[in-house]
Structure 1
Amino acid sequence: MIKGVIGRIRLWLLPQDPESMSDETRGAERNRRAVLTGSVATVARVVQVGSSLITVPLTLNYLGNERFGLWMTISSVLAMATFADFGIGNGVLNTVAKAFGKDDKEGIRKAVSSGFAVLNMIATLLLVLFFAIYRFVNWADFFRVTSPQARAEAGPALAVFATCFALNISMDVVQRVQLGLQEGYRFSLWQLCGSVVGFIGVLAGIWFHVSLPILVVAIAGAPIFATTLNVIHFFGFVRPDLRPMRKLVASNVISEIAKLGGLFFVLQVVVAVSYSADNFIIARTLGAVNVPEYSIPQRMFAVITMMSGMLVAPLWPAYSEAVSRGHMDWVRRTLGRSLLLVLALTSTASLIMLLAAYRLIHWWVGSRIHPSFLLLLGLTVWTVMGCCGDAVAIFLNGASIIKFQLLCASIFGAVCLTAKILSIRHYGIVGIPWAVILTYGLAVVLPYSFFVPRFFQSWLRHARKPDPIAVAPKI
């Protein structure tokens, strides 16, 4: 009996090969892989956040304010990780997922090798560019540090981080391939190991009183170490048939990946500017002293957005594979269910956050800020709306419908920034989330509401076409 239970658990944890399955069971397998990937990713993120909560006060006490601030400033470059590969990673993901949906092993192999070649070229160019200017910049003055120890460590710490950053871009192909094959749980497991190793490394560094560059190796190098092991394990033992090879690098595949990746890159930049300019607008309009009044509540609600994103993100490659196979009933059904689930979970979580907001803020930062109820209510509504929009965007990403998203995002970004500036001048900080809600509803929700049903209707009309991708509605 125990052996049977272990066997069933093993079967669930090690999903079946879709090529050996019937069309009727592929949908269930996609759902299982998405749940598995999302669950492992959630655990990995919880461990990562928990490690940060423990190590931040310890490193602050060990390094002191100035050296800790230097570390945080250098680490903030991680926010650029989504842009540093110029969207190539997402291009590889979609290309692999499409080939996977068509059972095109040769196409997957070419996408892996071509993507690996391009990402290596980008990483090399960035690293060469950095070290070309490294010795001409006084990094201590650049970061405006004054203590002798901080000034001595500024340049070496940044050099170590830049090297780790470039290596991460180079080896990112394994994550994208695993996501494209709907095996993202593998990367999350290695990421979990990297977080544990990094946590132990930071504690050991503090114990042995190491310098800041060595601490950077511990915190930024541990994920690289875990990813390296992932590359060796996946391409060496799990899927040696997909191992990157020079002879499989194809110019037409590189062109396809670069074209799709370029669209993703522009979309990411537009979305980031639209969502990340709030603190800058507040600082420029009302003064930096007012930024915490908005940023602290916003960070609280951002936890809900992050968890919702982790829930729906594994559906991206599943949508892409299903679209390639023409399984539009599964796509439509899954999109509807994911929207309802996101709506229910984020509405409940946001309402709880709204009711507990004042107590949470007081527990977190004391009585230094007092956000208005209208501001908190606006963040509540926007959190739910934005999470539902992200669920639809995951489907559009999987279907490679990027130009339409880019058009909507560009209009939204331009109108939203204007609306934020005007609203903050007339209504103060409270006007920001309501400006976002209004402009997002007009520039994104309404177009999506018309476009998505039309997309499925077009597929139904051309259901007998041999290549369903070719008849997707033009955007």
Structure 2
Amino acid sequence: MASIFARGFAIVTTLVLTPLIIHTLGVTHYGFWFLATLISTVIAFPDFGISNGVINKIADLNRTTGSILKGITSILEVSYLLRVLAIFWFLLGSLMIFLYVRTLNHATQQDELLQTLLLSLGIFCLGIPPTLWSRVQLALERGHESVIWEGVGKAAALFLSLIVLFIHPEIRWLTVATLLPPVVAAYCNGIFFTRRDMKNAYLSHKRKSLKETVVANLDILRTGGYFTVIQVAYILGFALDPFLIGRFGGVDQVSYVSVIRRPFDAFPLVITLFSTSLWPVFGRLQANSQFVQSRRLIISLCMWSAALIVILGGIVIVFQKPIYDLLGQSRFSVQSADLFWILLRTFAVTITIVQNNYMSAVNLVKRQALTQLTSGLISIVVVIPALYFGNIHVYLLVSSLIYFFFTLIPSLLISFGDINSKIKSSLESVVWYSDK
């Protein structure tokens, strides 16, 4: 229910705000706002995967000892590292945003876009430190606590965004109204969690120097290194695309792709409401050698996801005119072929989410990272020429095919190959013991 609350507001927010922003501020300013909301996807793992490394460590500790007492010092030290990383990303991100905006020679209102993106970056960096507490809660299979706060933040964001649009429609105020409330909610979640579960340790903790903190948590940092590779892969294969479209096709083209993707963006959120708890579930099944159950779970999730995507996607394609006349305020001419390629990529992304949860839980992060990095490199090599020599329609075709064949298919092979080998080994062990 907590996931439905949070993810539901995410879906409602995008579907409600998209037509309102286009109607109130216009297509170009909608493109500005959309790019601003993508800052968090460009920096997909701002902590270099450190907090993801915490999940497995805390989950193992809680499973073996029934407590996280021995891991509290590491958690607090990682919290300090995340604050340092937030400053690092703000400085580096500010430079990259400045350079990017200055390359948009054909874009008007460059200063307004620059200020909007910098606001988004600052708010995002503020939100880096409290992500740790949601990771710890996830490791304890209490992810619903952070998800509830996430829902509260998104509900507040929708409410404040509507106020801005109706009372004082301005792109920078809208950016703050959309992005800041979830960050405030994340801090509230962290405060309540630490006061309830870690109060004494938090008060008595003595901060080490940055060097000492890094040395003391090398095991977590090593695990996080592979998540950093995944971050790079995600940037190359997905997160950079809207910015490349803006560079080669203009901000209005960014708006077009955003609008036609809106209904499809909701599909993975609807289908993978379970994703906040899936990682530790796979970890527990792995620890108990319940490999057959893991395979059944993955197969059932993939089958139901595929069926839902085909049904929902078919509805969008059949009723595309009324849907996109509403979302895009009749400003765009939508092609059915574009919708098909977006549907294919949405299918691939959704199934890959399931595989990624499994691979992360059973320590296949290295193979996961290499697969996604390979796909990302292929994507960037193909997408740039597609945009430069072709058009937005060619981009949608090639980007979907690349993700399907170079991310989804290898992920399925890795996951099922690992599960099947473990099932085979366990069966051979049973036969050996029975012979004895």
| Shorter-chain TM band | 0.7 to 0.9
Q: Is the 8 A contact 1:110 1:253 kept in 2?
A: no
Change (3 A) 1:141 1:438: closer
**Residue 94 of structure 1 contacts residue 180 of structure 1 at CA under 8 Å; is this kept in 2?**
yes
Change (3 A) 1:453 1:401: same
Q: Quick check: 1:408 aligned with 2:371?
A: yes
What CA RMSD, in Å, does the superposition of the two structures yield over aligned residues?
4.4
Q: Tell me which residue corresponds to 2:149.
A: 190
Mapping of residues 356-435 of structure 1, within 5 Å: 356-361=316-321, 363-365=323-325, 368-372=333-337, 376=340, 383-384=346-347, 386-413=349-376, 433-434=400-401
User: Which protein is bigger by CA-based radius of gyration?
Assistant: 1
Partner Cα distance (1:348, 1:155) in 2: 40
Cα distance change of structure 1 residues 126 and 244 upon mapping to structure 2, 3 Å threshold: farther
Distance 2:169 2:260 in 1: 36
Any idea what SS the aligned residue of 1:169 has? coil
Q: Answer yes or no: is 1:454 the counterpart of 2:418.
A: no
Taking the TM superposition and a 5 Å limit, the aligned residue runs for 1:304-343 are 304-321=267-284, 323=286, 326-329=287-290, 332-343=292-303
Separation in structure 1 between the aligned mates of residue 118 and residue 334 of structure 2, nearest angstrom: 38
1:61-100 alignment to 2 at 5 Å?
A: 61-63=23-25, 67-100=29-62
Question: Could you tell me which of 124, 127, 139 is aligned with 1:180?
Answer: 139
Paired residue type of 1:89: S
Structure 1 length as normaliser, TM-score? 0.70
| Structure 2 residue matching 1:108: 3-state secondary structure | helix
1:39-78 deviation line (CA, Å, top 9, x unaligned): 3123212113313333444445554555554443333313
2:6 alignment partner, one of 41, 44, 59: 44
Specify the alignment match of 2:433 in structure 1: none
User: Following TM superposition, by how much is the alpha carbon of 1:183 offset from its aligned partner in structure 2, in angstroms?
Assistant: 0.9
Question: TM-score normalised to the size of structure 2?
Answer: 0.75
Distance 1:269 1:214, change over 3 A: same
Structure 1: runs of 5 or more not aligned: 1-38, 464-475
Q: Secondary structure at the match of 1:247?
A: coil
CA distance in 2, matches of 1:141, 1:363: 35
Question: Which amino acid in 2 is paired with 1:306?
Answer: L
Query: Percent same amino acid at aligned positions?
Result: 18
Q: In 2 relative to 1, CA 461–411 (structure 1 residues): closer, same or farther, beyond 3 Å? A: farther
1:262 to 214, 225, 231: 225
Q: Is the 8 A contact 1:335 1:392 kept in 2?
A: no
* Cα deviation code 1:108-134 (max 9, x no counterpart): 313321220110110123345567x69
1:119 aligns with 2:82: yes
Shift in alpha-carbon separation, 1:108–1:124, aligned structure 2, 3 A: same
**Secondary structure of residue in 2 paired with 1:369:** coil
Q: In the alignment, is residue 344 of structure 1 matched against residue 307 of structure 2?
A: no
Is the deviation greater in 99-108 or in 260-269? 99-108
Q: Number of aligned pairs?
A: 413
* 8 A contact 2:133–2:190 mirrored in 1: yes
Which stretch shifts more, 59-68 or 229-238?
59-68
